[in-house]
């Protein structure tokens, strides 16, 4: 999660740059490109330095080594990695196109921005005794970047988008140091309240311009997990020595509707940029849920 926190600054910067001058350039605009590269590169280097001093400096270094953490948090952290590289790739591509960079170069350079940054963090992990290079993280970083690049190369658009939603849970009160203290931390740290979605636009797969399915309406499949007060196993006691209720850990699968904000027709390039940046958020909608913990289905009139 520390990787996702560090990277959020870069994502916001790229999104903001894409909205700054509103209209994309038809030809290479060097001032825009230099500004984009300077701000993005500066934030990347600065955040890596801050990450090292905050997370790594207090722990001994070691030879490069790996770690198998695939089962932690029932895979939720891995999906977070995929969504992060996907979202950064999407916004970086748009920012480069706004700067007048060619389509193919923007796809590759933009699509690999988040992957490259997180790869550097994975290498830092690999030289730390406390952590280690995670092949699972690396694989899902690649999955997220590949999902963006593959669609943009093949279709020239994103017909399937990775999205995120969050709702508060009861679990953070027992491990605030791990799951967050207050909503400003919990939405990033409490995997129990997070849901990751693959939001698919059915209309984009149709050649007909007069289809009955709305162009902006998506069908989304989601995955979440609950009952977790620890990564691989639940803790018995909180930091003060008080016993923690023992919850049943389980996965949750969702089927819902969603809105593709990038398909909403607006004339303003500014609002197009806004819709693209916030399209990472799954729109609340009626949702069908299946819980592995009890094997039952549940219907939510509105789920977020």
What does the DSSP assignment read for 34-97?
HHHHHHHHHHHHHHHHHHIIIIITTS-B-S--EE--TTGGGGHHHHHHHHHHHHHHHHHHHHHH
The percent of residues in the chain predicted with pLDDT above 70, rounded, is 92
Q: Report the pLDDT value the prediction gives residue 9, as an integer from 0 to 100.
A: 47
Residues 124 and 220 in one domain: no
- Within this chain, do residues 227 and 177 fall inside the same structural domain, yes or no? yes
Per the confidence metrics, is the pTM higher than 0.85?
yes
Q: How confident is the prediction for the chain on average, in pLDDT?
A: 91
Q: 139 and 197 share a domain?
A: no
Per-residue pLDDT tens over the stretch 240-279: 899 999 999 999 999 999 999 999 999 888 999 999 999 9
- pLDDT for the residue 12: 47
What are 57-115's pLDDT values in tens digits? 777 888 999 999 988 999 999 999 999 999 999 999 999 999 999 999 999 999 999 99
Please tell me whether residues 179 and 194 are part of one structural domain. yes
Does residue 184 have a pLDDT over 50?
Answer: yes
Last residue of a domain, one of 157, 182, 216: 157
> With bands split at pLDDT 50, 70 and 90, how would you rate the model's confidence at 1?
low
3 lies in which domain range? 1-157
Question: What's the confidence (pLDDT) of residue 155?
Answer: 98
**Does 164 lie in the same domain as 153?**
no
Within this chain, do residues 90 and 193 fall inside the same structural domain, yes or no? Answer: no
Total domains in the chain come to 2
| Proportion of the chain above pLDDT 90, given as a percent | 75
Do 135 and 178 reside in the same domain of the chain?
no
């Amino acid at each position: 999660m520390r990787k996702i926190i560090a990277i959020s600054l870069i994502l916001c910067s790229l999104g903001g740059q894409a909205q700054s001058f509103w209209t994309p350039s038809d030809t290479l605009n060097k001032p825009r490109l230099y500004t984009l590269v300077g701000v993005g590169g500066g934030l990347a280097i600065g955040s890596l330095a801050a990450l090292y001093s905050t997370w790594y400096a207090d722990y001994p270094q070691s030879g490069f080594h790996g770690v198998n953490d695939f089962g932690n948090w029932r895979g939720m952290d891995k999906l977070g990695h995929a969504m992060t590289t996907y979202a950064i790739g999407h916004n970086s591509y748009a920012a480069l196109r706004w700067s007048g960079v060619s389509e193919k170069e923007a796809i590759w350079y933009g699509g690999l921005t988040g992957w490259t940054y997180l790869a550097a963090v994975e290498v830092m992990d690999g030289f730390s005794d406390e952590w280690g290079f995670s092949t699972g993280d690396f694989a899902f970083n690649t999955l997220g970047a590949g999902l963006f690049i593959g669609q943009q190369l093949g279709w020239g658009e994103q017909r399937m988008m990775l999205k995120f939603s969050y709702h508060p849970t009861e679990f953070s009160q027992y491990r605030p140091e791990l799951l967050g203290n207050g909503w400003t931390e919990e939405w990033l740290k409490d995997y129990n309240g997070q849901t990751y979605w693959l939001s698919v636009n059915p209309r984009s797969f149709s050649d007909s311009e007069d289809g009955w399915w709305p162009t902006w309406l998506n069908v989304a499949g989601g995955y979440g997990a609950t009952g977790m007060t620890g990564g691989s196993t639940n803790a018995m006691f909180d930091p003060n020595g008080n016993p923690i209720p023992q919850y049943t850990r389980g996965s949750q699968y969702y089927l819902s509707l969603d809105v593709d904000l990038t398909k909403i027709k607006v004339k303003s390039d500014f609002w197009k940029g806004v819709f693209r940046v916030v399209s990472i958020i799954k729109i609340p909608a009626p949702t069908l849920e299946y819980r592995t913990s009890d094997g039952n289905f549940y219907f939510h009139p509105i789920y977020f």
